[in-house]
Amino acid sequence: MDRQAACEAARAALEREGVGGADEAFDMASVDVVTRWVVARAIETEAKRTLPDAGIAGAGTLGELLDLAEKDRT
């Protein structure tokens, strides 16, 4: 997986949801659950992987979501 490309996809998803300037330290608790899943889906699409639902729900930061995509395929 190209982490930079996945991060850019996530940032673009956040921007479409009205959140600008996010980096890997971005606090996912600051957005609603729908936005969290929109971001996760953008990462999944870029990484060509399925992230575990529990991992998506439990990720504290954007970086943690990206870490999930770098783990073994589920």
Range 3-70 classified under CATH 2.60.120: no
User: If DSSP codes are grouped into helix, strand and coil, which group holds residue 50?
Assistant: coil
30 Cβ neighbours under 8 A, 6+ residues apart? 19
Tens-digit pLDDT profile for residues 40-72: 999 999 999 999 999 999 999 999 999 999 985
Alpha helices in the chain (DSSP H): 3-16, 33-47, 53-58, 62-70
Q: What pLDDT, in 10s, does the model give residues 9-30?
A: 999 999 999 999 999 999 999 9
| Sequence-ordered list of residues with C-beta below 8 angstroms from that of 34, at least 6 positions apart, any chain | none
Single pTM value for the model: 0.92
